[in-house]
Chain A
Amino acid sequence: MKKDDAQPRIRIRGLSKRFEDKVVLDGVDLDIMPGKSTTVIGMSGSGKSVLIKCILGLLKPDAGEILVDGENWLALSETEQLARMQRVGMLFQRAALFDSLSVWENVAFALLRHGEKPQAAREHAIEVLHWVGLPDIADLMPAELSGGMAKRVGLARTICHKPDIVFLDEPTTGLDPIMSDVINRLIVRLHKDSGTTILSITHDMKSAAMISDQIALLCHARIHLQIPPDQLDSHQDPMLRQFVEGRAEGPINTSDWGKRMEEATQS
């Protein structure tokens, strides 16, 4: 048992991905321990979402290795990858709810797809919706929901089939501070109640501090450092300080973004 605990649930080694000339990931190494909540922070466009999409098989990396419970997910066939997805839950940045299905059908999607009877699946979905604080919206359509509600429904869909590993892509981006706090508390509760392994990506420092056991800074296409959340304010790494304090000047190269902004303003 102890030995299992010491082995990372997800081990990423030398992960590289480029889009034409732009190197997004360049030899990323990261270990995510079982039952822990790890958050990857980094600037917009630094490759955080690409990292998650590579793990989930939504993007094919150029090089590297992704081991989940010791199994190399990059070597799996499409069918095998799909089968592994039953153990995974993913919350997308904009929730990605299916427009043509009602809220409960969205939440119970994985259950319905795997043969659960509609009545039982609906009851289960309503139970999970209750857990995220939205018990009375089962029959609404996604278009009728606010951003915060959609995110919570997305979270309900992510956890409804009881996954072992949950991926959260910018769980609080675009939400007001109160709704962000609601989502953060739900994530903390999920982590504490079920001991699920969580990998989140965000640039919301408050959220990162609240939901993580470990924080990794993705910078210049690599994991620059990993720290526990209580060191977020005290660690003296210049890149981390620049990012946490939100300064344009510093070792993180922002010239590309500055140049693009200048061009956009001129045009």
Chain B
Amino acid sequence: MNFLVLIGRVVENLCLHTGLYAQMFGRTLRRMASPPWHPRIILQQAEEVGVQSLPVVLLTALFTGMVLALQSYIVFHRFAAESMTGLVVSMSLVRELGPVLVGLMIAGRVGASFAAELGTMRVTEQIDALWTLSTDPIRYLIMPRLLAVTLMMPLLVVIADFIGIYGGYAISIYLLDQNPTVYIENTTIYMELHDFYSGLIKAAFFGVLIGIIGCTEGFSCGGGAEGVGRATTRAVVISCMSILISDYFLTAWMFG
């Protein structure tokens, strides 16, 4: 019986949160249809989300590309297909690992900061203060953040793809002594533009998830400092889970 109650609670919570995210997404979209759009705040947020996330994204991509090259080479070496290393590294990064890993990094860095920042504003009544100063809090706080993360995610993924591919190239050429011309040829011949685009579509979708989950958790948080902590944890966990789960369905939809 207790087990059933537990399942019931989990399902109830899931429905409640999904509903909250959907409602907030709808309310934010409606506001995007008319001015003011606060371009200055969008740029400020884009700088925060994009430029300031670059170091962590670049490091992640570089080492992922390097490890991928090393692992692929070891496996392909067993059946003398080392020349395929470049293709596997590039395909994996562009189609899958680029958007997913950047998504997870941004969920940890940006999603958490959205939830903590808005949560603190909520518990210190700053969001209420915005309303009483005739300023729509969703338009002023959530819309710029959502737009910034949705626009910056594909850009970060493009950079991560190139850096990751370069990491794989560097390991293959300088450490594993592969032929650079063959490496580049194999990579470019078999890769299609669609592979690249699919990663960018995923990145934008993950950006929407991170933005709406982080902002909604912060915006609807309560219970003082403890509540802000819980909202931040929830934002990161739910964003990461949503990215991994939706990645499967997006892949199935785009390549199925």
Contact = CB atoms under 8 A, between A and B. Distances in A.
Interface of A: 53, 56-58, 78, 82-83, 85-86, 88-90, 92-94, 96-99, 109-110, 113-114, 157, 161, 167
A246 B22 CA distance: 49
B225 to A, nearest CB: 13
A38 B128 CA distance: 22
Interface of B: 120-121, 124-126, 128-129, 131-136
A85 B128 contact: no
A85 B129 contact: no
A83 B134 contact: yes
A125 to B, nearest CB: 13
Contacts of B131: 56-58, 82, 85
A226 B54 CA distance: 62
A167 B133 CA distance: 12
Contact of A90 (B121, B132, B136): B132
Contacts of A78: 136
B125 A85 contact: no
Contact of B132 (A88, A97, A98, A114): A88
Contacts of B134: 82-83, 85-86, 110, 113-114
Contacts of A109: 133, 135
Contact of B133 (A58, A85, A94, A99): A85
A56 B132 CA distance: 7
A161 B133 CA distance: 9
B129 A96 contact: yes
A89 B126 contact: no
A113 B134 CA distance: 9
Contacts of B133: 85, 109-110, 113, 157, 161
Contacts of B132: 56, 58, 85, 88-90, 167
B125 A92 contact: yes
Contacts of B136: 78, 82
A93 B125 CA distance: 9
A97 B131 CA distance: 13
A83 B132 CA distance: 10
Contacts of A93: 125
B126 A99 contact: yes
A98 B141 CA distance: 12
13 contacts: A57-B131, A78-B136, A82-B131, A85-B132, A86-B134, A92-B125, A96-B128, A96-B129, A98-B129, A109-B133, A109-B135, A113-B134, A167-B132
